[in-house]
Structure 1
Amino acid sequence: MSTKRERVNVIGAGVVGLTTGLVLQRNGYQVKIIAEHWPGDFNIYYTSPWAGAFIRPEPKLDERGKKFEEVSYKTLWSLSYMNDTGVIRIPNVDMYTYDLQINGEPWLKGIYHKFQVIPKDKLPKDVEYGISYVTVSMDVPKYLRWLLNQFTNAGGKTEKVHLNHLNDAFEPGVDIIVNCTGINARTLGGVDDDKVFPIRGQLVAVWAPHVKTAKTLSHEDNTRTYIIPREDGEVILGGTLDVNEIDGTPDPKTAESILNRCAKLCPELHQGKGLSSLQIIRHTVGLRPARKDGIRLEAEISRNSAGNNVIVCHNYGHGSSGYSKSWGSAIEVLELIKSASQAEISKL
């Protein structure tokens, strides 16, 4: 629980900002989330609504990354048993066309339910490594609304506003600012992080309620084909990794490539009737808020206009792992704020 510092302004209402705000509100802080875009809005720079949104183990994570992923996976797993969260449990087959060079040892063994390495002779041709496990998938609009409702039901406040500068979040009585601006951290005054960059991703949503298993095929050049079932019968097909591209218009040739790749990976997608039989719900393009050095998660002391010390904690740069590391990084923000608060108190 907070002691000296009780009021917090969180900037940003994407999955990271909402989760961080909820964690802090539940832990005794009085939180207000400040953002221009909210669940239900669709803007290319509001990146969370466009995500595929499921958790898969990332190979060769550092210890902090593993911790964030584990915390998020376990939290979302528990949410999958609750109504109205939009979170479901799904089996996943995860394959690689190259040798991960992990000596057969999974990087998060014992964390994922029913986790097993697939024997090489059971893998498709040209696939070098494969694992299977049960993971979680999120119906993005429903899950974001659930986060926001949980936050406000817990007493959290909201304000819809565009901020030009970090200092705009410094209000009288607010001692802590948490910066969860994602891709907008590149242009927000007072942050101006030139390490932040967009990775454009194109998806195709189809109606295929018979598909119950997620599948992913990763290549050494970091390209990836994936199939993600959602709660309501939609299946998300992807994807692309277009670094420093921001065009929000879906490309027909790219969509065709995605459909062909996904049909090859998952022939049951069209039930033997051909791609033309697929019911396409929509084509979407979103941006991943990536950062050159990975997630920026650190606390610093700044001064407000009254000359008082303010804790500023940064939590952005999640790239394609916003959903899969949201709970873990939010818990880290809580710990960073506690540590910074104690350091300030000790100076008194």
Structure 2
Amino acid sequence: MSKKKRVNIIGAGVIGLTTGLVLQRNGYQVKIIAEHWPGDFDINYTSPWAGAYVRPEPKLDEKGRKLEEVSYKTLWSLSYMNDTGVIRIPTFDMYTYDLQIDGEPWLKGIYHKFQVIPKDKLPKGAEYGLSYVTVSMDVPKYLRWLLSQFTNAGGKTKKIHLNHLNDAFEPDVDIIVNCSGINARTLGGVNDDKVFPTRGQLVAVWAPHVKAAKFLLSQKDNTRTYIIPREDGIVILGGTMDVNEYDGTPDPKTAESILNRCAELCPELHQGKGLSSLQIIRHIVGLRPSRKGGIRLEAEISKNSAGNNVVICHNYGHGSYGYSRSWGSAMEVLELIGSANQAEISKL
């Protein structure tokens, strides 16, 4: 019986955990090494702060479609399990401009109960709309589930701060997978200056009566307003897209704007009692790991300190779509390192 190839994954956000679980389940011996883990809260650890639902982009290239389709189908299956924190929710996406999509949107036939909303059924000011059933995630519960599934499958963990990619090299490690997220900008050996933060501010409120997600993209002021119900009765209200902003402190005026916009989009939010009646659970600020040119999802061959070839695969730069492309990108990593290993074998 051949020895399992050893993989070290950098990062324990949703991308690192999902990638680790996929690889561990597919015959690799995986260890995730990271400073921050589910249960930790740090501005540079993005996953705990996310709104976390699957809202597909109506206009996507083939690669993006594949990542989202794989993730959506996998998360849909997880929504039938009680301990994942994943639930199914009806969703309504609206835009204040016509998207000018020729023919049927690519989402048709993939997303459950998908349809283009007739223009006469849209609220005032909206020019295009979609409805479908998607999934949302109770973030703390879902991250804990990923980690427990990973360790139950035999995966290993190591809590450590990494300054350089070389810190992930260990004896007998064959593959490094870099899922460092926003930290890819400063991690030695990567130093990707295409990575930048997109600050997002959210408000979590108690509103168990809200069962559907809503999203409105306004072209006039470039605001994104959204309502995302979770399993536990908390509803996430958003949001902002503040490019190259690092401040982790919630801004009261921004929070007020989010609440007002969300109440206008979803009047049932406060059940006619006014915004002051809403129970605010917490204010949230996170840094999305955005990247010029999109996700870096590629493999390369490098040398370790002993002069042996090691496969390095990168999987970061997901921006707002970490959760909705997590399973698709993890499966892509599985294919990439398989192809890289085969290419090395063919040279022998």
- TM-score band (shorter)? over 0.9
1:21 equivalent in structure 2: 20
How far the C-alpha of 1:107 sits from its partner, in A, is 2.5
Q: Please tell me whether residue 174 in structure 1 is matched to residue 173 in structure 2.
A: yes
Q: Distance in 1 between matches of 2:106 and 2:2?
A: 38
Q: Distance in 2 between matches of 1:222 and 1:138?
A: 26
Q: Distance in 2 between matches of 1:163 and 1:222?
A: 37
| Partners of 1:4 and 1:341 within 8 A in 2 | no
| Partners of 2:225 and 2:258 within 8 A in 1 | yes
- Counterparts of 1:293-312 in structure 2, within 5 Å, are 293-312=293-312
How far the C-alpha of 1:237 sits from its partner, in A, is 0.1
1:269 equivalent in structure 2: 269
1:215 equivalent in structure 2: 214
How far the C-alpha of 1:4 sits from its partner, in A, is 7.0
How far the C-alpha of 1:59 sits from its partner, in A, is 2.4
Q: Secondary structure at the match of 1:324?
A: coil
1:291 equivalent in structure 2: 291
Paired amino acid for 2:322? G
How far the C-alpha of 1:106 sits from its partner, in A, is 1.6
| Partners of 2:4 and 2:29 within 8 A in 1 | no
Residue by residue over 1:38-69, the C-alpha shift from the partner in whole angstroms, topping out at 9 and shown as x without a partner, is 00000000000000000011121110100000
How far the C-alpha of 1:243 sits from its partner, in A, is 0.2
Q: Distance in 1 between matches of 2:77 and 2:83?
A: 13
2:344 equivalent in structure 1: 344
How far the C-alpha of 1:272 sits from its partner, in A, is 0.4
Q: Please tell me whether residue 90 in structure 1 is matched to residue 89 in structure 2.
A: yes
2:113 equivalent in structure 1: 114
1:58 equivalent in structure 2: 57
Q: Distance in 2 between matches of 1:218 and 1:35?
A: 35
Paired amino acid for 2:135? V
Structure 1 unaligned regions, length at least 5: none
| Partners of 2:107 and 2:114 within 8 A in 1 | no
How far the C-alpha of 1:176 sits from its partner, in A, is 0.2
How far the C-alpha of 1:5 sits from its partner, in A, is 6.3
- Counterparts of 1:1-348 in structure 2, within 5 Å, are 6-103=5-102, 105-220=104-219, 222-348=222-348
How far the C-alpha of 1:104 sits from its partner, in A, is 5.4
State, as a whole percentage, how many aligned pairs show the same letter.
Answer: 87
How far the C-alpha of 1:234 sits from its partner, in A, is 0.3
Q: Distance in 2 between matches of 1:206 and 1:178?
A: 36
Residue by residue over 1:127-161, the C-alpha shift from the partner in whole angstroms, topping out at 9 and shown as x without a partner, is 01001110000000000000000000000000000
Greater shift after overlay, 211-220 or 178-187? 211-220
Q: Distance in 1 between matches of 2:23 and 2:285?
A: 31
Q: Distance in 1 between matches of 2:222 and 2:296?
A: 22
Q: Secondary structure at the match of 1:99?
A: coil
| Partners of 1:211 and 1:229 within 8 A in 2 | yes
Greater shift after overlay, 221-230 or 246-255? 221-230
Paired amino acid for 1:52? G
Q: Secondary structure at the match of 1:70?
A: helix
Q: Distance in 1 between matches of 2:101 and 2:323?
A: 25
| Partners of 2:4 and 2:27 within 8 A in 1 | no
| Partners of 1:109 and 1:115 within 8 A in 2 | yes
| Partners of 2:301 and 2:311 within 8 A in 1 | yes
Paired amino acid for 1:114? K
Q: Distance in 1 between matches of 2:110 and 2:233?
A: 27
Q: Distance in 2 between matches of 1:168 and 1:107?
A: 42
How far the C-alpha of 1:126 sits from its partner, in A, is 1.2
Q: Secondary structure at the match of 2:324?
A: helix
Greater shift after overlay, 76-85 or 94-103? 94-103
How far the C-alpha of 1:108 sits from its partner, in A, is 1.5
How far the C-alpha of 1:101 sits from its partner, in A, is 1.2
With over 3 angstroms needed to count, the CA separation of the structure-2 counterparts of 1:178 and 1:122, relative to structure 1, is same
Structure 1's consecutive aligned runs of 4 or more residues displaced over 2 angstroms after TM superposition are 2-5, 219-223
With over 3 angstroms needed to count, the CA separation of the structure-2 counterparts of 1:104 and 1:278, relative to structure 1, is farther
Q: Distance in 2 between matches of 1:146 and 1:306?
A: 37
With over 3 angstroms needed to count, the CA separation of the structure-2 counterparts of 1:99 and 1:28, relative to structure 1, is same
How far the C-alpha of 1:347 sits from its partner, in A, is 0.8
**Aligned residue-pair number:** 347
Q: Secondary structure at the match of 1:283?
A: strand
| Partners of 1:5 and 1:176 within 8 A in 2 | no
Greater shift after overlay, 103-112 or 116-125? 103-112
TM-score normalised by structure 2 residue count: 0.98
| Partners of 2:182 and 2:197 within 8 A in 1 | yes
Q: Distance in 2 between matches of 1:264 and 1:223?
A: 13
How far the C-alpha of 1:3 sits from its partner, in A, is 6.2
Q: Distance in 1 between matches of 2:312 and 2:4?
A: 12
